[in-house]
Amino acid sequence: MADILVKGGHVVTMDPQRRVFERGSVAIKGDKIAAVGKEIKEKADVVIDARGKVVLPGLINCHTHLSMTLLRGVADDMPLMQWLETKIWPIEKNLRAEDCYAGALLGCLEMIKSGTTCFADQYFYMEHVARAVEEAGTRGVLSYGIIELDDPKRRESELRAGEKLVKAWHGKADGRVLTMFGPHAPYTCSPECLAKVKELAKKHKVGIHTHLSESQDEIKQITEKYGKRPVEHLDSMGFLGPEVLAAHCVWLTEEEIRVLRERGVKPVHNPVSNMKIGCGVAPVPEMLAAGIPVALGTDGAASNNTLDMFSEMKFAALLNKVHKLNPVAVPAASALEMATVNGAIALGLGDKLGSLEVGKKADLVVVDLKKPHLSPLHNIISHLVYSAVGSDVDTTIVDGKILMRERKVLTLDEDKVLREAQKSSDALLARKEDKK
């Protein structure tokens, strides 16, 4: 007998054969998928009627700064370095633990309601972000954002903070919380710092989450300082490897794409953030053609301004089509892969997440198709990528537990989360004003 049976809907498995069942079901026992297919006779304690809906793997957001939900709409329409130096970093100097907790809860709530079941996060006060993930019931791969700015004393304290998170939280919350090391970027972390991060990540057997080649300013800065472009710079010190999750990867040469492929680096495309800050267009078609499993991320809500992975899939496809003047540059199926199977691979969780297969974790979402913008139905993949939005998600299940059913979130008090986030955001901005 199953614990949960999601019955009678379109089932998009994202398995190796990319099977789609027009009228299928998914059975869940404990935290794993027990059966997927057309006819599942098994009885269950909880039956979810998925007729007129589509069941698919939970979406995986591979690059976020979750607590930046508090800064949504605070700094818009600015280039990256100006955005960071004049707006974001001055505000972040006044962050407190309770701010990051409130912002993380808001981010978890938004992701649950928009179909994201797993995310990779890099920010501050990450033990409080971990608490939020534990309470919300979602899945997070968390890293403390290390920024040492060539300061040896700061380097020591930043590395300690990063290691403290790994030691305290890796594998916690029944395995839903995992950790990485999070050196912010090669322009905020010295070669000495990056070498130590590489060593610590190997010691603790965890990944590394960083920003790479996001803007032309970064390319210029790194080239002037080290005589090499960012990818070349990191490769020359032996930093790049299959454990590296590299956000953005916008400004890459053909040779750098080759290096990323050979080193097994996992790039994360963030189309909306890159468009909004005017950073450029990542060479996604070229990376995919090279056999690199490009993942997808929203970046923080301060530069997006949402965490909606359905919108991100659409923009991932459309941005590359218009950039290449080629309507097949990134097809809908590729965008969906980026948000599911590729995301799982990027986080080192390809054997556990990203598809609906027997034995994998029961992380899945149900999307309601009974909407004007999703009718009539001809191509389910097309609808998911080009027509659906996060608010079409009806039910969200993580680790075999129902976090939201029929749009009602069961693990968090939605009104309270919204109130506390507004209160924290207002207080944070007021602290910045007080210090002027």
Give me the CATH number covering residue 298. 3.20.20.140
Give the CA dihedral 68, 70, 75, 80, nearest 10 degrees. Answer: -10
Residues 380 and 317 grouped into a single domain: no
For residues 118 and 61, the answer to whether their CB atoms sit within 8 Å is yes
Identify any residues that bridge with 146 across adjacent strands, giving them in sequence order.
Answer: 183
**In terms of domains, do 47 and 158 share one?**
no
Q: Are residues 188 and 326 in the same domain?
A: yes
- Which residue type sits at 428? L
Alpha helix stretches (DSSP H) within 348-402: 380-382
Domain interval for residue 16: 2-57+360-405
Whether residues 389 and 312 share a domain: the answer is no
User: Quick one: which of 308, 240, 245, 239 has its CA closest to 272?
Assistant: 308
Whether 16 is in a domain gets the answer yes
**Residues 21 and 72 grouped into a single domain:** no
| Distance (Å, whole) CA 98 – CA 421 | 10
Tens-level pLDDT at each residue, the chain (436 residues): 999 999 999 999 999 999 999 999 999 999 999 999 998 988 999 999 999 999 999 999 999 999 999 999 999 998 888 988 999 999 999 999 999 999 999 999 999 999 999 999 999 999 999 999 999 999 999 999 999 999 999 999 999 999 999 999 999 999 999 999 999 999 999 999 999 999 999 999 999 999 999 999 999 999 999 999 999 999 999 999 999 999 999 999 999 999 999 999 999 999 999 999 999 999 999 999 999 999 999 999 999 999 999 999 999 999 999 999 999 999 999 999 999 999 999 999 999 999 999 999 999 999 999 999 999 999 999 999 999 999 999 999 999 999 999 999 999 999 999 999 999 999 999 986 555 4
* 17 C-beta neighbours (distance < 10 Å), count: 7
Is residue 187 helix, strand or coil? coil
